[in-house]
Structure 1
Amino acid sequence: MDNLKEKTAKGLFWGMLNNGTTQILNAVIGIFLGRLLTPAEYGIVGVLTIFTAVAGAIQASGFTQGLINLKKPTEKDYNAVFWFNISVSMVLYAILFVSAPLIASHFHQPCLVEVSRVVFLCLPISALGITSNAYMLKNMMNRELAIINFIALCLSGFTGIMLALHGFSYWSLVCQQLLYITLTNIGRYYYVRWMPSLRVDFTPVKEMYGFCVKLMITNIINTLNQHYLTFIFGGLFPIKAVGNYSQANKWNTMASSTISGTIGQVAQPVLVSINDEQDREVRVFRKLLRFTAFLSFPAMFGLALVSREFILLTIGAQWLDSIPMLQILCLSGAFLPFYSLYQNLTITAGKSNIYMWCNICQILIQLAMIATLYQQGIMVLISVYSAFTVLWLLVWQMIAQKLIGIKFFDALKDTIPFMVISLAVMAATYYLTSSITNHILLLFTRILLAGLLYVLIMRLTGAKVFEECINFIFKRQPAK
């Protein structure tokens, strides 16, 4: 129990450091590129995101999660998945290469023929590292993942900025993506030191396929759920509006995925190791719920609070229209990390069919609502999408209750206090700082004041998750 607790704590620490550093670097890079490029230039690459993301989910085919879910995956398992991923990626690239003129025609942008064919090279390149990434996640090598991401982001981000400075427009974003994926793969192979064998046997793939194919379908649905608004907007609204939404969604995703990534890197490996001990599984799951709420609500509500000052000071007034979009997305973004936790629980229980159908129903209902309301405008679409994202968590909670017996009111008791405190802190901070007119002073004052108020309340209320974080950081033993 102590070993698992320590391993989980270290995994969360390095996962947080990894995701936090990644998002900070992405923010810095995004600030520079946001000032150097226009919304239309961002929109050119942004509309292709849905194609690369869906194709990426297909080529991975759920085998990353499948390998992690095995108690002790063998060399044969990893090798079979590697060659399967490579084969699928080559087929997908060929299909997308041929489809490039159709994509360009849909978005009324002739330049997308050439741009898309280069961007889609991300698929075969990324396929080379899927198996090594699964190995690192299975063994909770979060420290090594943090180092890899840091180096890859720094080098690719610097390259993208230099290209933008020299007038390469949207090509700077394309080159940044390709270089990041290449450097990430190199780093993974450096640490894993695993090389595929030419003795190809797809038997492990066949054995895992029934479980993984449902994960693949669900991953595709999740990807569509994250990116289909960009696709829809690209056909309904000017490319500038698409660029503004892409920018808002980027900042929201960067913030929420910091927490989601931290939780996701440890949730499945930890839950797999105890999935035959229901009482213990409930305790661990509830602790992860509290930790997620402790981080997610203040982070996302805080970003909504400072979004205007942040956008104006970082990427400039040309992105003013993205601010209300970002504020709405942040409110629902606070709940996205909980999706990661509930979904990992479902996968761990081997219920990939439930995982798949729950996500299918979610996106079908969302599409129906958008088809009904799209004429009301872009802000209404974003608002409806965000509200439904929050409400659908109730379905995941019902599934969790059937799987491990965690009660709805216990989940509320673990999460609602952090949400209420976070809202109260942000409201108090807003009114206390509303008289400040200088954007720089307002931004830093709000961040500092909100942070101090939140920590003070956590301290005064004796929040256990806060005390455990402090004890771990300073290596103190908890009080007996």
Structure 2
Amino acid sequence: IFSFNSLKSFFSFSSKLLLTNTIATIGNNIYPSLIALFYPMNQVAYFNQAKKYQEIPFLTISNTFRSVAMLILSDINNESERMKRVVSKMIKSIAFIAFPLGFIMILLAETIFYLFFKEKWLSSVPFFQALTLAGMLSPFVFIFNELFIAKEKSAYFLGVEILKALLLIVLIIILLPKGLMALAASWVLYILATLLISLILSSKLVKYNLLNFLKDTMPYMLIALICSAVSYFTTKNISPPILYITINILIITTLYITVCKALKLEMIKEIEVWFTKRKTNK
């Protein structure tokens, strides 16, 4: 049955999402525009190159989990406790993948850029490493966005984007004169602040707060960081680029999985259950 109230509600929800996406698009594209205005073209190229390649893995992670989150959370949007458990599991899943991947990218950045782009693009490396810190956090933000949409709280989603836009403007005003590296650092602060705002709103919706987030993510982050540090000191005297990359990936991956398994972290258990089911089905 056609209802003007339903139409009005739908229009209100959709218009807020449209406005949110518009603000987000402007925010995401403001950096390249400002850099092009205030910095030499070679610096712009270095920054854009770093941003482009840093985004690829984390956008892939974000889009993968967003599609899953949208389906699951929409089905249980009236069950807050269950939504909290689902969000927690997704946060752990992202942490399990994003942190080791991010630290590997930071550790191997210079070698990878030299191997594939040669010396002329090595100036992109510091930007790439800084932006990777933001990249590791960005998939979490997308999950909370899907939570707000699933709970039909488009106003929350819009509010986050407005606060983000205001924060971005403040950071740009403060850090633009201090150089491109400061701008890259401001992007990290921007994503971190966005995550904190999202957690505050999430705590109101499903009681998933900062403490829950730290409990879910810190083990994976610390293990990935320690494994990367061990790998760095173990391989720092290896010269051939391909060998250096290969050994670092092997060391970090092996150590990471071994430590996670020894500590009996949830995601390792989930993977083991998945493999067991696959073997059983065969």
TM range (shorter): over 0.9
1:364 aligned onto 2:166: yes
- The counterpart of 1:268, out of the listed 56, 70, 84, is 70
Residue of structure 1 equivalent to 2:128 = 326
Residue of structure 1 equivalent to 2:265 = 463
Q: 1:438 to 1:477 in 2, by over 3 A?
A: closer
SS in 1 for 2:262: helix
Range that drifts further, 234-243 or 253-262? 234-243
Amino acid at match of 1:372: I
Aligned partners of 1:206, 1:253: CA distance in 2, in Å? 37
Aligned partners of 2:55, 2:197: CA distance in 1, in Å? 22
Aligned partners of 2:161, 2:33: CA distance in 1, in Å? 19
Q: Report if aligned partners of 1:275, 1:348 keep a CA contact under 8 Å in 2.
A: yes
1:454 aligned onto 2:256: yes
1:182-207 CA-partner distances (Å, limit 9, x unpaired): xxxxxxxxxxxxxxxxxxxxxx9876
Aligned partners of 1:366, 1:314: CA distance in 2, in Å? 33
SS in 2 for 1:475: helix
SS in 1 for 2:277: coil
Tell me which protein shows more helix as a share of its residues.
Answer: 2
TM-score norm. by structure 1 comes to 0.55
How far is the alpha carbon of 1:470 from its aligned partner? Answer: 3.3
Aligned partners of 2:31, 2:204: CA distance in 1, in Å? 32
- The counterpart of 2:23, out of the listed 221, 225, 228, is 221
Q: Report if aligned partners of 1:335, 1:390 keep a CA contact under 8 Å in 2.
A: yes
How far is the alpha carbon of 1:400 from its aligned partner? Answer: 0.5
Q: Structure 2: which 5+ runs fail to align? A: 1-5
Residue of structure 2 equivalent to 1:349 = 151
Q: Structure 1: which 5+ runs fail to align? A: 1-203
Q: Report which of the two structures shows the higher radius of gyration computed on alpha carbons.
A: 1
Aligned partners of 1:263, 1:401: CA distance in 2, in Å? 20
Amino acid at match of 1:436: I
Aligned partners of 1:205, 1:284: CA distance in 2, in Å? 30
1:346-367 CA-partner distances (Å, limit 9, x unpaired): 1111111111111111121111
1:191-227 CA-partner distances (Å, limit 9, x unpaired): xxxxxxxxxxxxx987632111111121122222322
Amino acid at match of 1:224: I
Q: 1:276 to 1:243 in 2, by over 3 A?
A: same
1:340 aligned onto 2:142: yes
Residue of structure 1 equivalent to 2:3 = none
Q: 1:315 to 1:475 in 2, by over 3 A?
A: farther
Aligned partners of 1:406, 1:457: CA distance in 2, in Å? 27
Aligned partners of 2:256, 2:128: CA distance in 1, in Å? 22
1:277 aligned onto 2:79: yes
Residue of structure 2 equivalent to 1:385 = 187
How far is the alpha carbon of 1:469 from its aligned partner? Answer: 2.0
Aligned partners of 1:421, 1:211: CA distance in 2, in Å? 41
TM-score norm. by structure 2 comes to 0.92
Residue of structure 2 equivalent to 1:395 = 197
How far is the alpha carbon of 1:391 from its aligned partner? Answer: 3.2
1:252-306 CA-partner distances (Å, limit 9, x unpaired): 1101112111110110110010111122111111111111111111111211111
Aligned partners of 1:240, 1:303: CA distance in 2, in Å? 23
Range that drifts further, 293-302 or 401-410? 401-410
Following superposition of structure 1 onto structure 2, how do residues 107-118 of structure 1 map, counting pairs within 5 Å? none
Residue of structure 2 equivalent to 1:78 = none
Aligned partners of 2:147, 2:54: CA distance in 1, in Å? 24
Residue of structure 2 equivalent to 1:259 = 61
Structure 1 stretches of 4+ with a deviation exceeding 4 A read 204-207
Aligned partners of 1:316, 1:220: CA distance in 2, in Å? 37
Residue of structure 2 equivalent to 1:163 = none
- The counterpart of 1:250, out of the listed 31, 49, 52, is 52
Pairwise CA RMSD: 1.9
Aligned partners of 1:224, 1:306: CA distance in 2, in Å? 31
Q: 1:207 to 1:354 in 2, by over 3 A?
A: closer
Identity of aligned residues (%): 29
Q: Report if aligned partners of 1:471, 1:477 keep a CA contact under 8 Å in 2.
A: no
Amino acid at match of 1:333: G
Aligned residue pair count: 276
- The counterpart of 2:212, out of the listed 410, 414, 417, is 410
Amino acid at match of 1:421: I
Higher relative contact order (CA 8 A, sep 6+): 2
Residue of structure 1 equivalent to 2:235 = 433
1:166-188 CA-partner distances (Å, limit 9, x unpaired): xxxxxxxxxxxxxxxxxxxxxxx
SS in 2 for 1:371: helix
Residue of structure 1 equivalent to 2:98 = 296
Q: Report if aligned partners of 1:268, 1:348 keep a CA contact under 8 Å in 2.
A: yes
Following superposition of structure 1 onto structure 2, how do residues 97-136 of structure 1 map, counting pairs within 5 Å? none
Q: Report if aligned partners of 2:84, 2:208 keep a CA contact under 8 Å in 1.
A: yes
